[in-house]
Amino acid sequence: MIGFKTKFSKRFQLKNYSSEIIIFLNDFNWIVYVEYSSYTELCRGHDCKNSICDKYSKGVIDGSACSSLCKKDTLYLGKCFTAKPNSQVYSGSWGDLEGVIKCQMEEAPHYDLGSEMEPRKEAVAFNKPTKGTSVEKFREMILNHLKAKVGDQANLADLATQVLSITDANKDSHISLPEARSTWALLQLNEFLLALVLQDREHTPKLLGFCGDLYVMEKVPYSPLYGISLPWIIEVWIPAGLRRSMDQWFTPSWPHKAKISIGLLELVEDVFHGTFGSFLMCDVSATSFGYNDRHDLKVTDARYIVPEAIFQENIRQKRCDVDEDCLYGADCLTSCDLTKHRCTPEVTRPNLAKGCEALKDYILRGAPSDVKEELEKQLYACIALKGSAEQMEIEHSLILNNLKTLLWKKISHTKDS
């Protein structure tokens, strides 16, 4: 812990990936306390790799990335981007491919990780399916799991077929037990499930390979969506309004921002009553998104895009005294039923309202004068949406279509489209 002193009269608390900074200020002095986790505590990717490769060498797991990671050493872990110790994130290179490597670790009890929809209290045992399980029985396990995650959708059999196709990592038309165990572990992760559901769309990075529950995703070259990183000592003294303005300083041209914004609106459309059920976007912040060289929006962190059925099942079991107790992530809030002291299952704001709030400053800055007034009007109408999307489906669809049409008309005749 480190302390400094001088004069002032406020109190701040900041948190970043590896430290918690608490600043106490009074009329006589101020003290900065920095509590931090060291790099070795936070970035444990090589521990994760060793654990995965140990299980691969023993024949417990297998996958398309195992040989490159553990035998050939052609899949490298690069820079650490880990925010939470139980979910390791690294840049990576795999031959000529640039990617992002994500690896799951057991939850260390001394970290405050917050509530998760996919808690990991201990390392994955990779013990399912069991020896002797037939492919048909495994397919049935997948179907039942998907049904529990996204509800009883009509075309879950198609999704199960896609899962089996990915499971056959070496494409020998035979699914081995180690391959099946890897896939089963990955299916427990919201981010992997969303990548499967949206794999035919352009909004999620492509899955490049996996080994156990370590997986490699396509690299998104530009992320976060907007915002600049500043040293904490400068961050403390910048007013909130100026900080929001600074976040928009280094963004693409307006036509490119319009195309990216259309991508976010299309993502909202895809996850609301999509092909394989509804998902809730519980952290619609710039840090969860990026874009590629063609200015296609990409989800870079899908941990808080959760199946609505799972969210409702979990949140209704949560005890509460006030509505704020019923918050998951940054953006999924329900109300507290004070007669039962339990959270209600319906979110107070739909995905679209959260998406419009994230886009407001981004898309209005530099907007052409002939569309700015109407664009601002539509955005504020969108932000004001309340209740679940099912309760206001017509209004939801109307605002979504109006925004997409307004932006598309302005850029459709340009090369930026």
DSSP assignment of 204-242, as one string?
SPPEEEEETTEEEEE--SB-SSS-----HHHHTTS-HHH
Instruction: Note the pLDDT of residue 8.
Output: 37
Does 391 have pLDDT greater than 80?
no
pTM value is: 0.80
Confidence class for position 416, pLDDT limits 50, 70, 90: low
Confidence class for position 412, pLDDT limits 50, 70, 90: confident
Q: Is-contact 53 37, C-beta < 8 A?
A: no
Confidence class for position 129, pLDDT limits 50, 70, 90: very high
**Which run of H or of E encompasses 157?**
helix 156-167
Does 29 have pLDDT greater than 90?
no
Residues whose CB falls within 8 Å of the CB of residue 331, separated by 6 or more in sequence, listed in order: 281, 282, 283, 284, 304, 349, 354
Report d(CA 320, CA 338) in Å as an integer.
Answer: 8
Distances from the Cα of 157 to the Cα of 147, 176, 177, 355, angstroms: 10, 21, 21, 31
Structure tokens at 272: 């609301």
Listed residue (20, 17, 331, 60) closest to 179, CA to CA: 60
Confidence class for position 245, pLDDT limits 50, 70, 90: confident
**H-type alpha helices, 295-350:** 308-315
Q: Is-contact 49 22, C-beta < 8 A?
A: no
Report d(CA 183, CA 62) in Å as an integer.
Answer: 9
Instruction: Note the pLDDT of residue 123.
Output: 54
Q: Which residue has the tokens 């500043």?
A: 230
What is the rounded average pLDDT of the residues 328-337? 94
What is the rounded average pLDDT of the residues 380-397? 81
First to last CA, the chain: 52
How many percent of the chain have pLDDT more than 70?
83
Instruction: Note the pLDDT of residue 367.
Output: 94
Instruction: Note the pLDDT of residue 33.
Output: 43
Confidence class for position 389, pLDDT limits 50, 70, 90: low
Q: Is-contact 306 191, C-beta < 8 A?
A: no
Report d(CA 88, CA 42) in Å as an integer.
Answer: 8
Q: Is-contact 300 290, C-beta < 8 A?
A: yes
Report d(CA 104, CA 197) in Å as an integer.
Answer: 21
Q: Is 222 exposed, middle or buried (0-12, 13-18, 19+ CB in 10 A)?
A: middle
Q: How many residues does the chain have?
A: 417
How many percent of the chain have pLDDT more than 90?
53
- Which of 10-14, 146-150, 368-372 has the lowest average pLDDT? 10-14
Confidence class for position 379, pLDDT limits 50, 70, 90: very high
Tell me the pLDDT tens digit for each residue of 262-294: 999 999 998 887 777 789 999 998 889 999 999
Residues whose CB falls within 8 Å of the CB of residue 134, separated by 6 or more in sequence, listed in order: none
Does 45 have pLDDT greater than 60?
yes
Tell me the pLDDT tens digit for each residue of 73-126: 999 999 998 888 888 999 999 989 999 999 988 654 332 334 455 544 445 678
How would you label 86-97 residue by residue, b for 16+ Cβ within 10 Å and e otherwise? Answer: bbbbbebbbeee
Cβ atoms within 10 Å of 346's Cβ, excluding its own: 15
Does 18 have pLDDT greater than 60?
no
Maximal C-alpha separation, the chain: 73
Does 386 have pLDDT greater than 60?
yes
Instruction: Note the pLDDT of residue 260.
Output: 96
Confidence class for position 242, pLDDT limits 50, 70, 90: confident
- Which of 27-41, 61-75, 299-313, 330-344 has the lowest average pLDDT? 27-41
Instruction: Note the pLDDT of residue 99.
Output: 94
What is the rounded average pLDDT of the residues 144-157? 84
Q: Mean pLDDT for the chain?
A: 83
Instruction: Note the pLDDT of residue 58.
Output: 95
Q: Is-contact 69 49, C-beta < 8 A?
A: yes
Structure tokens at 128: 């399912």
The larger pLDDT score, comparing residue 114 to residue 156, is at 156
Q: Check residue 314 and report its DSSP letter.
A: H
Instruction: Note the pLDDT of residue 90.
Output: 94
Residues whose CB falls within 8 Å of the CB of residue 30, separated by 6 or more in sequence, listed in order: 4, 5, 6, 7, 8, 23, 24
